[in-house]
Chains A and B, each alone.
Chain A
């Protein structure tokens, strides 16, 4: 797991005047499931295509097993892609689709190829589909064949471009499990592109959060979820209440902040750092589902007024106004104080759920 398989080194890419990738550098470890996560247009798919060789990079380098591959065309790189629309060849049946790679590269004997086709079909649980045509397959089945077609080439890494995007919700959830399982079974490094945080958090060993052509943070799902490196990551991952607060004073491991009439102690993110001075403006980011409502005041709680209560299936969403800042609390069962609209309540949260972040301009499109 520690060895670096792929090194992305200062990769820059322009489409005309559009600066799509800005000096992107990171490593992909051998055998890991790495997800590039970001909103549409953040450059994640472009980065994947640069690794595949379908796009040329303008500067920087890409090293596969310590060798530069930036000058190699796509067909000479030992990486394979699962395309968003699967791109199965419509005139070839499942067997010939899977056999395409080994045949054009003449990398296997006939009997070896036959055995390998059986092997990869077994892996994706599609045995018996050999003579089906792509148009006779469902979305999930196409997906599996596309993966089998890529894996038969024994790529150093498999690149997956939002492969679950076209599937319905139920199948998507099922395929998430399947893909993670498949990745371990195939012992192949996966680089997975998605804009869906749930997919990323569910499947990945590590997540690289991207925005506007740069990587903002790389880390394990729990790191990304609980220790956001900046405001963008905090607002993109998980549902958070984000409010502007004023720093009263910085202590050793806590910061005292003021929000309206409330003065409380909060922790800061290990990733974003704790560089605050008295009087600084900062953002307090708290996961909606980590918040608790109490009817009595306690230490480090925010006093607020219940605005409205929405019952949405198993969830209850409670809107609370804290001196002009809006908080949404998600409860999964009837809350303790059985508060009603207009009641005064006190908000607290599990230590992990809240974090103080330095003031940065909010990226466009995301509102607080």
Chain B
């Protein structure tokens, strides 16, 4: 009798989640199952998928060419996380100290780029970074450099573009956690004899760690797959996961390998999210 009561209430409590689960299950789960199945199949010479079980695709991921692609992608995504954190944290911190209209306006400006197509914004960076572009004009015009600097087609250009595209996520994630920070804790730290730097390290940084981890995750994951930025700004010089998968599906006519790489990427992202939930839940332990 008692057990049945609990079961019915459990169903009742979770009832609102059912439509969402069905939706996500159908539109995200089913395609993912397709990808998983295809990743274990092979293709014929025309690129048509053949129903023949094989683990060949997964073996190929471990070939140096593909390992390098994984490495490049993680390097780009990781550095994007670092760059957006270093630039985004102070922005978020200062924004959280603003009041009223200034605050609303600043948050609005941070979100504003989302109103413009990301492709368009990336082409905008081409104009800035071009060999005869604005930045080079300024550099040579001011005599800082004699020759224009090659910026397009470099790893740095991909990094700048990716970081630019994703920094709002970092700022908003850090902002949310800095904003929740109880200022009396900072005062308590000063009161107990800690200076500004120690207070920042021991209290502010430590208590905004969940925001930092969240921001890093929000930036890292899309950075792995943003293939068009490295195409437009990186000139396809370095191959990243996104580009490679995109290419394998299209010109490469190797959907099974693309599927295997996608599954590997999903697994890796799952790992990153797992680490994130660990970090953000962790409450115990000090930095002192």
Q: Does A92 belong to the interface (CB within 8 Å)?
A: yes
Q: In the complex, which of the residues B191, B198, B207, B288 contacts A54, with contact meaning CB atoms closer than 8 Å? A: B191
Question: Cβ of B285 and Cβ of A75 under 8 Å apart?
Answer: no
Interface size range on A against B: 20 to 34
Interface size range on B against A: 20 to 34
Mark contacts of B113-153 with chain A using CB atoms, 8 A cut-off: 1 yes-contact digit, 0 otherwise: 00000000000000000000000000000000000000000
- CB contacts (< 8 Å) of B185 on chain A: these are 87, 89-90
CA separation between A89 and B284, bound complex, in Å? Answer: 11
B147 to chain A, nearest CB (A): 50
Closest to A54 in B: B187
Question: Cβ of A90 and Cβ of B283 under 8 Å apart?
Answer: yes
- CB contacts (< 8 Å) of A80 on chain B: these are 191-192
- CB contacts (< 8 Å) of B192 on chain A: these are 75, 80, 100-101, 104, 149-150, 153
Question: Cβ of A104 and Cβ of B198 under 8 Å apart?
Answer: yes
Question: Cβ of B193 and Cβ of A54 under 8 Å apart?
Answer: no
- CB contacts (< 8 Å) of A91 on chain B: these are 206-207, 283-286
Question: Cβ of B202 and Cβ of A104 under 8 Å apart?
Answer: yes
A172 to chain B, nearest CB (A): 21
- CB contacts (< 8 Å) of B194 on chain A: these are 75, 100, 104
B29 to chain A, nearest CB (A): 37
Q: Does B26 belong to the interface (CB within 8 Å)?
A: no
CA separation between A99 and B286, bound complex, in Å? Answer: 11
Q: In the complex, which of the residues A76, A83, A93, A96 contacts B188, with contact meaning CB atoms closer than 8 Å? A: A83
A224 to chain B, nearest CB (A): 29
Closest to A152 in B: B192
B35 to chain A, nearest CB (A): 40
Q: How many residue pairs at the A-B interface have CB separations less than 8 Å?
A: 78
Q: Does B190 belong to the interface (CB within 8 Å)?
A: yes
B107 to chain A, nearest CB (A): 25
Q: Does B226 belong to the interface (CB within 8 Å)?
A: no
Q: Does A237 belong to the interface (CB within 8 Å)?
A: no
CA separation between A91 and B284, bound complex, in Å? Answer: 6
Closest to A73 in B: B190
CA separation between A205 and B206, bound complex, in Å? Answer: 41
| Contact residues, B204-243 vs A (CB, 8 A) | 206-207
Can you list 27 A-B contacts (CB < 8 A)?
A: A54-B187, A54-B190, A54-B191, A73-B195, A74-B191, A76-B193, A81-B187, A81-B188, A81-B191, A83-B184, A85-B182, A87-B188, A88-B188, A89-B203, A91-B284, A91-B285, A96-B286, A99-B288, A100-B194, A100-B288, A101-B192, A104-B192, A104-B198, A104-B288, A149-B192, A150-B191, A150-B192
Known interface pairs A87-B182, A89-B203. Does A100 touch B189 (Cβ–Cβ under 8 Å)? yes
CA separation between A275 and B133, bound complex, in Å? Answer: 87
Question: Cβ of B202 and Cβ of A52 under 8 Å apart?
Answer: no
CA separation between A90 and B282, bound complex, in Å? Answer: 12
Known interface pairs A90-B207, A100-B192, A104-B198. Does A133 touch B284 (Cβ–Cβ under 8 Å)? yes
Closest to A106 in B: B193
Known interface pairs A85-B184, A92-B286. Does A105 touch B203 (Cβ–Cβ under 8 Å)? no
- CB contacts (< 8 Å) of A87 on chain B: these are 182, 184-185, 187-188
CA separation between A101 and B202, bound complex, in Å? Answer: 12
